[in-house]
Structure 1
Amino acid sequence: MNSAQDTLSSLAQCAYRIRRFALRMGEVQGQGYIGQALGYADVLAVAYGHALNFRPEDPQWDGRDRFLLSHGHYAIAFYAALIEAKIISEEELETYGSDDSRLPMSGMASYTPGMEMSGGSLGQGLPIAVGMALALRHKNNPAFVYNSMSDGELDEGSTWEGAMAAAHHGLGNLICIVDINNQQADGPSSKVLGFEPLADKWASFGWHVQRVDGNHLPAVLRAFDTARQLTEAKPRVILCDTLMGKGVPFLETREKNHFIRVDPPEWQQALQVLDASHN
């Protein structure tokens, strides 16, 4: 097996474990944003298993790449990635959403190591990322800032203000990742407020744009590598089309899967299906 195949095999294992960790946390509460966690696992696997520069033992290391979880309701997915990255321990997943846990149901920077911002008020992540990227550049710190956001945040004016500011300042150290799963609390994102042609819009704002199948690891891997290796002084965005519930067919086809309540026997069924498809 060559090195490229080794990398993809390792990332596939990483994505599988992220999905499994998320399902186990979901079982603790019997509900959660599991559809997003399963759909976004491949992106997080590439981020934490390949692209990001960080030290698990020192989450506040000044040389780290910053990963902002603007869509704070994806916290269950993010915690799974932090467990995979050894930033938090696997044992802590049993405390998910419980009193005094470091893993609250929505991301809070004051609680969780590796959490760079308290997300959830959608549309805040990109403006914060612009400020961080500017600050790092002023300090001559070569770290990247990643802003992870949902397609629902495309409805927010602050997102596009941040996009304009990033291009104006030539922030080549800023990478935005948009999860396009076409689902938000009020229904399909494209019907709540149409956002296509999305690639053209970001390009018109002065960004380098890539659009990929967010559940196809080779494509996601290439997109991350390309975003990091570009030399031009402009921000980069990776638009990731993903499938809610990816890896567990009976959740993939569930009509309302923005916030999922799963009957107790279904959690083990979901794990069994995931394990079977991975083996």
Structure 2
Amino acid sequence: MICATPLVIQVYKYMSLQGGHLGIGVWHMQRTSVEELKQRAIELRKTAVTMVYEAQSGHPGGSLSAADVIAALYFREMNVDPANPKWEDRDRFVLSKGHVAPIQYAALALRGFVSNESVYTLRQYGSPFQGHPDMKKCPGIDISTGSLGQGLSCAVGMAIAGQRDEKDYRVFAMVGDGECQEGQIWEAIQAAVKYKLDNLIVFVDNNRLQIDGFCEDVMPLLDLEKKFDAFGFDTTRIDGHSMEQIVETLDTFAKHKNGKPKCIVCDTVKGKGVSYMEDQAAWHGTAPNKEEFELAIKELEGGLPV
């Protein structure tokens, strides 16, 4: 007799959708270890930096700060199927800070949604890998983003739809701290609380920098953890480069079903892993030259400092 655990139920649903056959692209992955996730994050960083170098255009700084969370989501947490990217019951991911598309493209390539070689056409004419994610051109993109402040509203809409359709999928969203200066972010937050969206998990990539400098100097954000909490979110704060903390938070805090949306404020470093990019606003949207690129890859291949 088979015990009807949530996993068995979800696999059964998937098999039913596929005519009773469990295909090669089955959505469920084995739980990737923390050490494996750390290696995946390094691979993502190398791929993203290479993409920006080849294009001589793009946003490396924020891509590097987001890499660890992206690795944990795509290689451990999210229920997705690269062979069926439009699978109705998949978890959704919204990269609201869409300018860091290179790190998402890297994840899609390493996860098998697209070929590894294809992502190096970043920003080329006709390429599906444009400067901001395009859901109509790139498999695995759940919503086109890039206009700052708007992505979280889309994530809220997805979460409401899942709730009303009685679906089990979750919606993960990543916003930038600078992006939280946009008023629409807070309108979306209010709606998420009103509709009790405990299927929505929001990550704030809190790297403290934006294109014009430190957020504190451009437009102070105050304490984001306290602000989300005051609006009615379940909120916690972690080191966004500690894979141990990311995994523990996803395994526990993010799974609470208490009628509250979740916010995970991730303290990160812009340009993480490349010494000359770290904490430098100049690397928000600048491509490295040949010498800088080679140094970046050398440092990344040496691993990240503990």
Coarse TM-score class (shorter-chain normalised):
over 0.9
Contact 2:47 2:106 in 1 (8 A): yes
| Residues 89/130 of structure 1: CA separation in 2 closer, same or farther (3 Å cut) | same
* Alignment pair present for 1:176 and 2:210: no
The Cα of 1:253 is off from its aligned counterpart by: 5.3
Could you tell me which residue of structure 1 aligns to residue 24 of structure 2? Answer: none
For 2:246 and 2:304, the matched residues in 1 are separated by 19
Kindly indicate whether the alpha-carbon contact (under 8 Å) linking 1:70 and 1:117 is maintained by their aligned counterparts in 2. Answer: no
**Counterpart residue type for residue 38 of structure 2:** A
Q: Unpaired segments of 5 or more residues in structure 2?
A: 1-30
Aligned counterpart, 1:12:
38
Alignment of structure 1 residues 1-279 onto 2, 5 Å: 7-252=33-278, 254=280, 256-277=282-303
Shift of 1:255: 5.2
- Aligned-partner Cα distance in 1 for 2:100–2:203: 13
Query: CA offsets per residue over residues 57-85 of structure 1, 9 Å max, x none?
Result: 11100010000111110101110111121
What one-letter code is carried by the residue in structure 1 that aligns with 2:299? V
RMSD: 1.7
Measured in 1, the distance between the counterparts of 2:112 and 2:106 equals 10
Q: Residue 42 of structure 2 contacts residue 303 of structure 2 at CA under 8 Å; is this kept in 1? A: no
Quick one: distance in 2 between partners of 1:6 and 1:128?
Answer: 29
Kindly indicate whether the alpha-carbon contact (under 8 Å) linking 2:57 and 2:123 is maintained by their aligned counterparts in 1.
no
What do the CA deviations read for 1:90-114 (whole angstroms, capped 9, x no partner)?
0102211111111011111111111
- Aligned residue-pair number: 275
Distance 1:171 1:229 in 2: 12
Structure 1 residues 126, 278: CA separation in 2 closer, same or farther (over 3 Å shift)? closer
**Secondary structure of 1:19's aligned partner:** helix
Return the alpha-carbon distance in structure 2 between the equivalents of residues 139 and 97 of structure 1.
Answer: 37
Contact 2:213 / 2:281 at 8 angstroms: preserved in 1?
no
Residues 222-278 of structure 1 deviation map (CA, whole Å, 9 limit, x = unaligned): 122224320201100111111111111122154522112312222122111211236
Contact 1:108 1:118 in 2 (8 A): yes
Letter aligned with residue 184 of structure 1 = Q
SS of 2:276's equivalent in the other structure is helix
What percentage of aligned pairs have identical amino acids?
A: 35
Structure 1 residue runs of 5 or longer lacking an equivalent are none
Q: Distance in 1 between matches of 2:120 and 2:285?
A: 20
| Structure of larger gyration radius | 2
The answer on whether the counterparts of 1:21 and 1:80 sit within 8 Å (CA) in structure 2 is yes
Q: Which amino acid in 2 is paired with 1:86?
A: G
Q: TM-score, normalised by structure 2?
A: 0.86
Supply the distance in 2 between the matched residues of 1:239 and 1:255 (Cα, whole angstroms).
Answer: 20
Higher share in helix: 1
> What amino acid is aligned across from residue 207 of structure 1 in structure 2?
F
Give the match's secondary structure for 1:90. coil
Query: What SS is found at the alignment partner of 2:94?
Result: strand
Which letter does structure 2 place at the counterpart of 1:72? G
In structure 1, distance between residues paired with 2:140 and 2:253: 22
